[in-house]
Amino acid sequence: MKATNATNYALTVDGELTNFAESRWNKHVEKIVKEGGVAPVPEKVQTFVVYEAETVADISELVPNEEVAVNLFNRGASLKQLTAIRGYMEDPKFEVADAPYDLREDLNAVTERRAASPEDRVASLLDKLDDDALARIMEKLMAKGART
């Protein structure tokens, strides 16, 4: 079993408490200070112990309630299968069949955990913009490029 500490910060933003993971908090403070502002003081700071199972035995130890353990498994399994379905449906080489496609092998496939690169995150966000918003962003990027 793996246990790590995760420190979170809370600050009132637009009238509501907003949670910040430590890395997001540091970026938030850095941005405010860089813009000439004063570093905000968080209203709450708490470090949490966060667990990750490394074996099936760890799961039983961390979550002895069988119903809760099954619900957690099903949530993770559902997300993994939805990811596989999206991959198949967006793959031009995937050929549909008349029979239902069994995802058991996908459920059991070892997948690499990866965080999206900053470039991938930006590309994903740009895909969601309408043409006018994209044009405004491009203008800002071009202006920034001309300054450097």
The 10s digit of each residue's pLDDT in 5-17 is 999 999 999 999 9
**pLDDT given at position 138:** 87
Chain segment 28-68, per-residue pLDDT in tens = 999 999 999 999 999 999 999 999 999 999 999 999 999 99
Q: Where are the domains of the chain?
A: 1-59, 63-113, 116-148
Burial class (CB in 10 A: 0-12, 13-18, 19+), 9: buried
Rounded Cα gap, residues 29 and 14, in angstroms: 16
- Of 96 and 115, the structure prediction assigns the larger pLDDT to 96
For the chain, what percent of residues have pLDDT higher than 70?
97
- pTM for the complete prediction? 0.61
Helical segments of 50-130, H only: 56-62, 66-90, 104-108, 118-127
Q: How far out from the chain centre does Cα 54 lie? A: 21
